[in-house]
Amino acid sequence: MNRKNMKLTRSVAALAAAALLAGCASVSGDQGFGTVSALAKERLGQDARILRNDDDARALDSLIAAKLRTPLMADDAVQIALLNNRALQASYWNVGIAHADLVQAGRLKNPAFTFQRTRAGDAGDALDIERSLTLSLVSLLTAPIAKRVESRRFEQTRLMVANDILEHAAKTRHAYFEAVGAAQGLAYARQVAASAEASAELTGRMAQAGNLSQLDLARQQLYEAEAAAAVARAGKRTVATREHLTRLMGLWGTGSTYVLPDRLPDLPSKPADIDDIERIAIRERLDIRAARVEAAQTAASLGLTKTTRFINVLDLGYVRKTSAGQSAAPGYAISLELPLFDWGGARVAKSEAIYMQAVNKVAHAATQARSEARESYLAYRTAYDLAKHYRDRVIPLRKKISDETMLRYNGMLVSVFELLADAREQGAAVHGTIDALKDYWITQTRLEAALGGQLPIPPAPPADSATAHQGTPQ
């Protein structure tokens, strides 16, 4: 073999060695999900894990069973939802798919081996055998750029999955407070209905004795009928909200028989005071960060497109040809796509359009985030003030009126009809208090979703000052 051929052989061997080293990149154990789980832990204080095998499933069953032995708290509901909701688990695997694409981007295309066998002459006596080994030079030259592109796509996927976790956690908290509030409202509606039924029985006896007109009796019977209808509506809402929460947690069978607390959490001593809320939303929202990464990834893809617009296919190969009765003839072959019809202009124009599309998506996401942050914070503060107003003003005044009416009734200064009217007004005030407290916790959840993280919530006041009067109507 002469010196020229030896040099060519060493060059091809070097390319083959580079291809082998590039192919050594391997898939990591957690496939990049560890950073997503850490981000969820930081933002929510809850774990997010992929269920990979039967052992993970059994561990999850044990965790759920332990949490369902006591009344379910909001944080427990979120933890179960992050681990047990199958749609969310399916989205977790997007990280593994993106990680595999990243690893694949760091590997060269497999070399192509060609074998040709021909016979020359009329009698076919001359036998020619040609062997070639071809490597893609374009994939070797553009591999660093392609890997950077896939690295950004991988980061975008991780941010999107983490954002899915935050959104699902917010939906679960929202559903939790809806379910607890509905159950609390149902319990009080049943108390009102029982009181109305007793009042109807009393007025019925009074009417039979001639101490009550038929008009007053009909009014009390109507109140009893409306109270019974309110129980039916409250029961329907309780079932609907509970089933919604059950679906978000991915529970079924015996797991769906969990117990909720009897009442909503107490109102905190003061609301969270947040300055520069728009800046926080822009900085912390994961969907905005994902949109920024997408724009950067698109820009990198545009650079790759420009790099390969003229040379799209460039292959270098080692060729060895042998013929009957002759010594082997080594050589090389180059395969090059000639840009006679497609100069790559359309590909570049498409990449530029996609990039401008991504830039506008980032701007739109930022505008939406600012508006959602302002709206959510205003709703949060209003809901807090309203719930506090019911707790500190409406319920105490309603209780005072109820106590004074009872005193006058015992002193035979007011009639039974005024007492019954007061009971109806008391029921409306308590239902308003429950709705206001439920709306506060829901608006807090929405504000946390708009800001991309949990709020620093002040402690609740002592139970004796925070618990609203929710006794049975007189």
Which residue ranges form the domains of the chain, and what is each CATH number? 268-309+345-474 (1.20.1600.10)
Instruction: Give the model's pLDDT for residue 216.
Output: 79
Distances, alpha carbon 10 to alpha carbons 318, 320, 368, in Å: 10, 14, 59
What is the token pair recorded at 238? 């309780």
- Close Cβ partners of 75 (under 8 Å, ≥ 6 residues apart): 45, 46
Per-residue pLDDT of the chain (474 residues; tens, 9 = 90+): 455 455 545 554 554 455 444 445 555 567 789 889 998 898 888 889 999 999 999 999 999 999 999 999 999 999 999 999 999 999 999 999 988 888 887 776 777 777 776 666 555 566 666 777 766 666 666 667 667 777 888 888 899 999 999 999 999 999 999 999 999 999 999 998 888 888 888 888 888 888 778 887 888 888 889 899 999 999 999 999 999 999 999 999 988 999 999 999 999 999 988 888 888 888 888 888 888 888 877 777 666 565 554 444 445 455 555 555 556 656 655 555 545 554 556 767 777 787 788 888 888 888 899 999 999 999 999 999 999 999 999 999 988 888 888 888 777 777 766 777 777 788 888 999 999 999 999 999 999 999 988 776 555 555 444 444 444 444
What is the token pair recorded at 199? 């009042």
117-131 burial, b for 16+ CB within 10 Å, e for fewer? eeeeeeeeeeeeebb
Q: How many residues are there in the chain?
A: 474
> What is the Cα–Cα distance from 302 to 295, expressed in whole angstroms?
11
What is the token pair recorded at 93? 């695997």
Instruction: Provide the total of helices (H) and of strands (E) in the chain, helices listed first.
Output: 13, 4
- Close Cβ partners of 427 (under 8 Å, ≥ 6 residues apart): 188, 192, 473
Instruction: Give the model's pLDDT for residue 92.
Output: 94
Closest CA to 135 of 296, 333, 323: 333
Q: Quick one: CA torsion of 383, 386, 387, 389, rounded to 10 degrees?
A: 160
Instruction: Give the model's pLDDT for residue 403.
Output: 85
Sign of CA dihedral 451, 437, 392, 459: negative
End-to-end CA distance of the chain: 110
What is the token pair recorded at 460? 């609740």
